[in-house]
Structure 1
Amino acid sequence: MALNELFKNMIFACFGMQEMLKDFVSELVKKGKMSDSEAAKVINEFISKSEEAKENFKESIKEIIQKTLQGMNLPTRDEVDNLKSLINELNVRIAKIEEKLKD
C-alpha cells in the first residue's frame, strides 16, 4: 500500500471515529449523563488531538522519506536547482565568449 493511500485511510478512519464519538456523546446528552458544554468540550478536544496526531504522522512520514532518499544518495531539490542555475550561468558565459570570437 502506498504511503498516500495509508495516509488517506488514516484520515478517513479519524473522520469515522469523530462521527462515532459525536453520536456517542449525543446519546449521553440525550440521556442526561453529559451537558451540552461538556459534549462540545469532549468533541473539540478530540478534534484538536486528531489534528495534532495527523501533523505528527505527516512529520514522521516526511522524516522517513528524507532518510530513505538520503540513503539512496539522490540529489536534493536545492542541489538540482543550484546545478540548473550554474548551467544557465555557464551558458551565458559561453555565449559571450562565442560572440567575442566572432568579432
Structure 2
Amino acid sequence: MKKKYQAPKTLDPEVDDRLRAMLRTTVTAGSARALKDFPGQPHAKTGTAEFGSEAHPRTHAWMIRYQGATDLAWAVLLEDGGSGGADAGPVAARFLGDLAR
C-alpha cells in the first residue's frame, strides 16, 4: 500500500517568507492592485476558475487576503463572475472601504 503524504505542521521559515513576499507583490504590482491603497500591508491572491463545457468556459472569480498587520483574513468568491483581479478585486475594495467607514 502506498504511504499517504503527510503535510508538515509548519512551513520552513524561508518558504513562509517567500510566500508572504509573493502575496504582498500581488497587491503592490500584480492582479490585486485594487487593494494597494489600503493600510496595514494587505497580502492577497486572486484567481479565476473555469467551468462548463462551452467553447469559452464560464468562470468563477475569487480573491483571498490577509492583513499583514493584524489577524484579519477573508475571501471573496463571485460565482459565474469573471476574473479575480478585474472583478473580485473591486468588490473586495468596496467591502474594505465600507468597513472603514
TM-score, normalised relative to structure 1: 0.25
Give the structure with the higher percent strand: 2
TM-score, normalised relative to structure 2: 0.26
The structure with the largest alpha-carbon Rg is 1
Give the structure with the higher percent helix: 1
